[in-house]
Amino acid sequence: MVRIMNRVLLAVLLVVLLAPAGLEAGGYVYHKVDIGAPFTHFDIEDIYQQRWVSTFLRGKPIIMLTAHRYQRYEVLKWAETFRREFGLPGHVHLLWVANLRKFPWSTSRGTVTRQWRDFNAPIPVLLDWDGVIGKSLRINYNVPNIILIDAFGRLALHEMHSYNPEVYAAISARVKSLLSVNPGVDPYLAPMMAQPVMPGQTVTSQRGRRGDSN
């Protein structure tokens, strides 16, 4: 009997030791998303507590920008240029993602939120406290990251580059190619798609509401 118990305990110990390294507290295992594969589901609030849910953003491509906070003025160049060409006309959802998974414990969330509000970015800034976006890709936060998701929710492109017109032109061409393949928008839902989902709001349709990237 003692021998059996020892074997059971050994088996349990091996399971714990060999568990996937990406296993999080919520039981979700994060893997690097490959180009063409469905991107990781995300449900993240911005600096004004508005929710941005990946499944509710289907129907238009998503451009996400992210980098370390000290790179914010470099990211700003990307944000302003993308906004002029694609954000203001409403062709894409344009989002700035701040990875705060390892923000200093001595700084409160309220302080971080106020700092980003004071920065007054021209596009919505999402506060990714759990690092969901970063866990899904191999991101170098020392340089701006441009993440492009197609209208069907699949990863289309991930570039890491400081802003320059030549690189922008290449990425812009990729965005335009995605805009030619669009699953369409239900006319009944079109008037509802101008604002993000508010906290506690119930969305009855599977498509739901889509965020405003202007």
Mean pLDDT over 99-121 rounds to 89
Phi, psi of 172 (to 5 degrees): -60, -40
199 within some domain: no
Checking if the pLDDT of 120 tops 50, the result is yes
* pLDDT number for residue 6: 58
Checking if the pLDDT of 51 tops 70, the result is yes
- Which pLDDT band, with edges at 50, 70 and 90, does 106 fall under? confident
> What would the pLDDT profile of 6-33 be if each residue is shown by its tens digit?
565 555 454 444 444 444 434 445 568 8
- DSSP letters of 21-86? TTB-TTSPBP-PPPTTSBPPP-EEEBTTS-EEEGGGGTTS-EEEEE--GGGHHHHHHHHHHHIIII
* pLDDT number for residue 168: 96
213 within some domain: no
Q: Name residue, tokens 């889509």.
A: 210
* pLDDT number for residue 214: 36
The CATH number of the domain holding residue 79 is 3.40.30.10
Q: Which residue has the higher pLDDT, 185 or 140?
A: 140
Q: How many domains does the chain have?
A: 1
* pLDDT number for residue 31: 67
24 within some domain: no
User: Running DSSP on this structure, what letter comes out for residue 139?
Assistant: -
Checking if the pLDDT of 65 tops 90, the result is yes
Q: Which domain holds residue 167?
A: 30-192
205 within some domain: no
How far is 98 from 134, CA to CA, in rounded Å?
Answer: 10
Checking if the pLDDT of 206 tops 50, the result is no
How far is 77 from 22, CA to CA, in rounded Å?
Answer: 33
4 within some domain: no
